[in-house]
Amino acid sequence: MTLETLREVLGRAEEGAYAVGAFNVSSLDQAVAVLDAAETERSPVIVQAIAGMSAYSDESRWWHRLRALCEEYAQVAVALHLDHGRTYDDCARAIDHGFTSVMIDASRAADSDAPAAFLDNVELTGRVTTLARPAGVSVEGELGTIGGAEAGVTGILEEIVFADPDQAVEFVDATGVDALAIAVGTSHGSVKFTDEAGGQRLRLALIAEIRERLPDTFLVLHGSSSVPADAVTAINLHGGQVRPSYGISPGQKSEGIAAGIRKINQGTDSHLAWSAALRTFLDENAAVVEPSEQLAPAIAAFRGMVAQRMREFGSAGRF
């Protein structure tokens, strides 16, 4: 099976009323974990990378190898996606490297973390769509401002600027995006909400309204990791300093899928699982210096978290 576009992968998700997980990776080891999980769970998957966020100094080589790895999994329906491209150039480079989908995050101002003006968002997103269409590449845009901080963004946005349904329709009409990330109550990063109620704050009615008004546009949930408490505890027991917090509960994500979400971004949960397994192993096996022994439990934990999310999103067993 060749690499697919985001529209192809999410088109089947729409037909089956499930969501496809989009998992952030910053090394080939993590990408293998995601693709192994997809193969075992018989799940479609979106492998996504962020410009400037990897374990390698040469991003071009990293991106080429990431695409080649995805192509090796012939039985898996996989889209290779650029997550949170901040510039036109980010998206252009990803398209040149064979990514089948790009996200242009023009919801923030180019020179700060402040929300961008709506017309500026439309202009930049439209330029990327114009570039991507002839190459057969899908485009995701973002409307509203999701709280917290995604990788590569240093500032913290305390306030969530929720997506407006009227603007969502105007935005899609003007830009022609295939998918739209909407701010509906989620938050980026490993520290999300300080109270348990924070994980129950998805605006489900807002999702449903936008879905009804944009039936041909796939809705995306960013910042939706659940922040498993056991992983945070394990990290901190073995020398880490992750502040405990609450993420979006699996039940809320299921309700979001029922309301119309078709792509769910997941980075923090699998990163926490990786870090917890690695720290635990190193702390309990202080004399081990062989990298393969150190990495094996981290890869397994990463793979296990991805597989769990695939089952929760309803994408498992779809091929």
Catalytic residue numbers read: 83
297 vs 309: CA distance, rounded Å:
19
Which residues are paired to 96 by β-bridges?
Answer: none
183 vs 185: CA distance, rounded Å:
6
Instruction: Please report, to the nearest 10 degrees, the dihedral formed by the alpha carbons of residues 142, 229, 208, 158 taken in order.
Output: -50
- Written as one string, the DSSP assignment of 212-281 is HH-TTSEEEE-S-----HHHHHHHHHTT--PPP-B---HHHHHHHHHHTEEEEEE-HHHHHHHHHHHHHH
Which residues are paired to 264 by β-bridges?
Answer: 21, 221
73 vs 98: CA distance, rounded Å:
16
